[in-house]
Structures are given as structure tokens and as C-alpha cells.
């Protein structure tokens, strides 16, 4: 996506009168100083500066100028950016109750206002228990071979073709998400659900104008359709008195008592959170492996060894196999660090907060800058270098946060790592690939992505 598009989109999402009011009213009660930084023009702040250049360059130059806690005014809101591990720990973990998640209203409506991302407190804790129960190692252990079949099928369909890596990885991650959320019921409705998601996503990234014909309008309709399909699945499961171990089963567990609407909002939201994140990480891995043949060789050797052990009866991967892939796991970690697909996240101060001698006024946004933390030479020497061996030593607390930390950290991280490992096992043992066309550029959609989604040509190894 072009910067201009991103710019319009984000502006439209964030510029809001409430933000401006909060900004004005907070001015009266300052005792402590605000963090250093510049606020730019009234109202539009520094949004132009942000989107007239690579956003990562914008953040990095700010941090260089003002230090690890700074104020700015972007996207219609005054905000504080933080980029030290200490500060990230405070905002995400130790003082998380003072910083609530915040999303544009249009995105809440599209994913469903009752979805886990948007809540704090008891309701959030209850949902989180149910989500963790479905995605903890004990639960996802049982679906390793199903994930493997999906991976094998995907790779076979790319063989000999010129494919768009990101598009194909989206399909893979979507199919795995459906499996883990809806079990076998997902397969039944797969194509319908998939087309609804493609429409939903287009609207999610568009101007939030709900008039007939707009992308936003179409995606609100697709959302309704998704909820209807889920309603069907739920009522069949109720009738059959089935208890499943997938996420829907966890949500329907009787003691918990969620309404159908709450279930639908969360199912739709979780699948959304699972797909493009995992797909873009996989796309970056395919690129980095192609660019670093010596790393690829090490990964292929590690995976070949696992494959060779399996001559004999059971030729399927097990959970234990995936926990025995240290080299490949470090490639995933290093990719998560270098690519930092979620450059930052958003919180909002629920009251005036004192922070390292500064005031963060109530209502201001707070942005932990994951990418800057991951690219600081204090935390990772020669940060721009792709070097998986750096993870032979565990990173220090709160210097490596690809899945966030604290009460809202990613409950799908084990599943994400599992599905990436399984795909890499088959990719590196059976195939070779080359990138087609220019691939040094980065595109900034919701997530950073290699130029054009990384077209590749894949063929069987001899
Ligand atoms: C490599 C892929 C992934 C990455 C990098 C990733 C990253 C993240 C991060 C950084 C957060 C926290 C955001 C914040 O604190 O504001 C998060 C939250 C979340 N992720 Fe993931 N994620 C990935 C895959 C998945 C998958 C596969 C699932 C589901 C199966 C998932 C479900 C969720 C959910 C439900 C939340 C919200 C948790 C809450 O608010 O309590 N993610 N993810
Ligand atoms: C399903 O329900 C039965 C009877 O209530 C119970 O014994 C069994 O453990 C449940 N299975 C799962 C996977 O929860
Ligand atoms: C999350 O924060 C806790 C408390 O500071 C820390 O012990 C832990 O290592 C952090 N997690 C990560 C992934 O850095």
C-alpha cells in the first residue's frame, strides 16, 4: 500500500473530536512536565511528517532526537512514544491497569465490539482464559498432523508455479486458524468464510464511511454474514450436545456463559488476528532464507535430520519434533526481530500518570515502539544484520516483544510458531525457490511486508 493511502486511512480512523477535547482539557492540570518532543501543527500535528517518509525512519529520528520517552501529535491525537524496555514493561505489564487498549471506533465495529482486544478487567480475563485454554500447548499438540496436511497441500499447489508468497501464506494461515477455531466445522464452510474475510479485510483498511457501495459498507455486510454462518455452526453444536476442544468449544463451555453475539465477535476477531500476522512473518522468513544461503543450509540440515529419523512407519511430525528445531526456531525469532511486523501498539492513559518524572495526561495515547526496541544497538548489536545465532543467548526481559507482554500479549503465539515450523519443515526439505522481480522494497499496510508480497518460483529439489 502507498503511504498516501495509509495516510488517509489512518487519519480517517484517528482524527476525532474527543481526542482534541481531551488534549485541550488536560492542559490545565499539569504539574509535572510533559515528555520532550514536538507537537507540530494544531490538530494535524506531525502526521504529515510521519507519512511523508518511511514511518520507521520517522520514529527512529524522533527517538534519536528526544530519547526513549517523547511526545508527539499524530493521527489526530496527542501521544507519548516509548522505546525503552523498562518503559514497555511499565505500560504493558506492571502498570497495565493504567493503560487501556484503544482502537478506532470503526475497527471495533467491524471486528465486533465485544472482541477480546477492546476490553480490560473481568470480561477480558474471562475471554483470555478461554482463548488460552484452546491455544495452550496441551490443546494444539493434538492438531499437529492436521496442520501438517494443510502445509503439505499448500506447498504441493505452489510447485512449479510463480506464486505470491504473502497471498499463499494468507490462505495457509487462514486454513490453520479455521482448524484451530472451528475444527472440522471450519472445513464445511471454508470457502464461504474465506470470501467473507476477503471483503471484511478490504473494508477494514478503507475509509470508514458506511454508505451503500463503499468498501466499509460491504465489509459490514460480510461481517453480518460471518456471524450468521457462526450462528448455524453454534446451533448445530448445541443440538448435538458436542463438546469440542477447539476455540469455539472453549467459548461454548457452559459455565462461562457467553452470548452468541459475544462468541461471534471473538471468533471473527481471533481469526482476523491470526491470519495476516502469521502470513507476513512467513513471507519475511522465505525472503531472509533466500537471501542468506548459509542460514538456509543450516535449517535444511536440521529439518533433513528430523525427516531421516522418520523413515519407517509414522512419517508425520509430532509436537516433540517441533520442540526439537533450535536452528529453525532462531530463524523465526530473528525474523520477528528484524521485520518487527507489529511496529508498535496503542494504549490510552485512563488517568493522569506520572512516568519517569513526566506527566502522561489522561486520554493521551501511549505507543510502545516494538520496532525501535528491537532495532536498538543497546539491545541487539548490529541491529540491521540478520543473524539468527544472536538468539543462542536469550534476550533480556522486555527487549524482545514480537508477541507483546502482559495482560494483552498474544495468546496465539504457540500456535503461530507451530504452524511456521511445520511449513518450514516441508519447504526446506523438499523445495527450492527463487524470488522473482524486485524484492528490496517494503510496503507498509497494517503490517510491514516485502515489496509486492514477494513473488517466488518454487520447484522440487532434485
Ligand atoms: C507470528 C504471528 C503473530 C504475531 C507477531 C502476533 C502478535 C501479537 C501481539 C504483539 C499482540 C499484542 C498486542 C498488544 O499488546 O496491543 C497480539 C495479541 C493477540 N493475538 Fe497475536 N500474533 C500472532 C499470531 C496470532 C495467532 C495465530 C492468533 C490466534 C490463533 C493470535 C491471536 C491474538 C489475540 C486474540 C490477541 C489479543 C489478546 C488480548 O487482547 O488479550 N495472534 N498478537
Ligand atoms: C465431553 O463431555 C463428556 C460428558 O460430559 C466428558 O466426560 C468429556 O470429558 C468431555 N470431553 C471434552 C473434550 O471436554
Ligand atoms: C514480560 O515482563 C516480565 C516482567 O517484567 C518479564 O519478566 C518478562 O521477561 C517479559 N517478557 C518478555 C518476553 O520479555
Per residue in 444-457, pLDDT (tens digit) is 777 889 999 999 99
Residue linked to cell 489522561: 362
Q: For a substitution probing ligand 1, which of 410, 411, 413, 446 has the most ligand atoms within 8 Å of its CB? A: 410
Q: 233 C-alpha vs ligand 2 centroid, how far in Å?
A: 19
Torsion of CA 316, 320, 321, 323, to 10 degrees: 150
**254 CA distance to ligand 2 middle (Å):** 12
Closest CA to ligand 3's atom 5: 89
The backbone torsions φ and ψ at residue 218, rounded to the nearest 5 degrees and listed phi first, read: -60, -40
Confidence of residue 17 (pLDDT cuts 50, 70, 90): very low
Alpha carbons 204 and 264: distance in angstroms, whole number: 17
324 ligand 2 Cβ < 6 A: no
What's the burial of 108, exposed, middle or buried (CB within 10 Å: 0-12/13-18/19+)?
middle
What's the pTM?
0.92
Question: Percent of the chain scored above 90 by pLDDT?
Answer: 72
Nearest CA to ligand 2 atom 12: 243
- Locate 77 and state its grid cell: 491525537
Ligand 3 surroundings by CB, under 6 angstroms: 89, 93, 397-398, 400-401, 405
5 lines ligand 2 (CB under 6 A): no
* Residue 409 confidence (pLDDT) above 60: yes
In the DSSP assignment, the letter for residue 356 is T
Q: Which atom of ligand 1 is nearest to the CA of 124?
A: 41
Q: Which ligand is nearest to the CA of 270?
A: 1
Q: What tens digit of pLDDT does each residue of 302-341 get?
A: 999 999 988 766 689 999 999 999 999 999 999 999 999 9
Under DSSP, the state recorded for 456 is E
Task: Assess whether pLDDT exceeds 80 at residue 387.
Answer: yes
The CB density around residue 255, as the number of other CB atoms within 10 Å, is 4
CA distance 399 to 396: 6
The confidence score (pLDDT) of residue 25 equals 47
pLDDT for the residue 52: 61
Domains for the chain: give ranges and CATH numbers.
113-285+402-461 (1.10.630.10)
Q: What is the pLDDT of residue 77?
A: 84
Of the listed ranges 46-50, 136-140, 267-271, the one predicted with least confidence: 46-50
Amino acid at each position: 500500500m502507498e503511504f498516501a493511502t495509509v495516510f488517509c486511512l489512518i487519519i480517517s480512523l484517528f482524527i476525532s473530536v474527543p481526542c482534541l477535547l481531551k488534549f485541550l482539557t488536560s492542559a490545565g492540570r499539569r504539574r509535572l512536565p510533559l515528555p520532550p518532543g514536538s507537537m507540530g501543527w494544531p490538530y494535524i500535528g506531525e502526521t504529515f511528517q510521519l507519512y511523508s517518509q518511511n514511518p520507521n525512519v520517522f520514529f527512529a529520528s524522533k527517538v534519536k532526537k528526544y530519547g526513549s520517552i517523547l511526545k508527539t501529535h499524530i493521527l489526530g491525537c496527542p501521544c507519548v512514544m516509548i522505546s525503552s524496555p523498562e518503559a514497555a514493561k511499565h505500560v504493558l505489564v506492571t502498570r497495565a491497569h493504567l493503560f487501556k487498549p484503544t482502537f478506532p471506533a470503526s475497527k471495533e465495529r467491524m471486528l465486533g465490539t465485544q472482541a477480546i482486544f477492546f476490553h480490560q478487567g473481568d470480561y477480558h480475563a474471562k475471554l483470555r482464559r478461554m482463548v488460552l485454554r484452546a491455544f495452550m500447548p496441551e490443546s494444539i499438540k493434538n492438531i499437529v498432523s492436521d496442520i501438517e496436511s494443510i502445509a503439505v497441500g499448500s506447498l504441493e499447489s505452489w510447485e512449479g508455479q510463480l506464486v505470491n508468497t504473502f497471498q499463499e501464506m494468507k490462505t495457509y494461515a487462514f486454513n490453520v486458524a479455521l482448524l484451530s477455531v472451528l475444527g472440522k466445522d471450519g472445513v464445511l464452510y471454508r470457502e464461504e468464510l474465506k470470501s467473507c474475510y476477503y471483503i471484511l479485510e478490504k473494508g477494514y483498511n478503507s475509509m470508514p464511511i458506511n454508505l451503500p457501495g463503499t468498501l466499509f459498507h460491504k465489509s459490514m455486510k460480510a461481517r453480518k454474514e460471518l456471524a450468521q454462518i457462526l450462528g448455524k455452526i453454534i446451533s448445530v453444536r448445541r443440538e448435538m450436545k458436542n463438546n469440542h476442544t477447539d476455540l469455539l468449544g472453549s467459548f461454548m463451555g457452559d459455565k462461562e456463559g457467553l452470548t452468541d453475539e459475544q462468541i461471534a465477535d471473538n471468533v471473527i476477531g481471533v481469526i482476523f488476528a491470526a491470519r495476516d500476522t502469521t502470513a507476513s512473518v512467513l513471507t519475511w522468513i522465505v525472503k531472509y532464507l533466500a537471501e542468506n544461503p548459509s542460514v538456509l543450509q543450516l535449517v535444511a540440515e536440521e529439518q533433513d535430520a528430523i525427516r531421516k529419523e522418520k523413515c519407517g512407519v509414522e512419517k508425520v511430525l509430532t509436537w516433540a519434533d517441533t520442540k526439537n528445531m533450535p536452528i529453525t526456531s532462531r530463524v523465526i525469532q530473528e525474523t520477528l526481530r528484524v521485520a518487527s511486523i507489529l511496529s508498535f501498539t496503542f494504549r490510552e492513559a485512563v488517568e493522569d500518570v506520572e512516568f519517569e518524572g513526566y506527566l502522561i495526561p489522561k486520554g493521551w495515547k501511549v505507543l510502545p515502539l516494538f520496532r525501535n526496541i528491537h532495532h536498538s544497538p543497546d539491545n541487539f548489536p548490529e541491529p540491521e544484520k540478520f543473524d539468527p545465532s544472536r538468539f543462542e543467548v536469550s534476550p533480556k526481559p522486555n527487549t524482545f516483544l514480537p508477541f507483546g507482554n502482559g495482560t494483552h500479549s498474544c495468546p496465539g503465539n504457540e500456535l503461530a510458531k507451530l504452524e511456521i515450523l511445520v511449513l518450514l519443515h516441508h519447504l526446506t526439505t523438499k523445495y527450492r525457490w527463487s524470488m522473482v522481480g524486485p524484492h528490496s522494497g517494503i510496503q507498509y499496510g497494517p503490517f510491514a511486508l516485502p515489496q509486492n508480497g514477494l513473488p517466488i518460483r518454487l520447484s522440487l529439489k532434485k
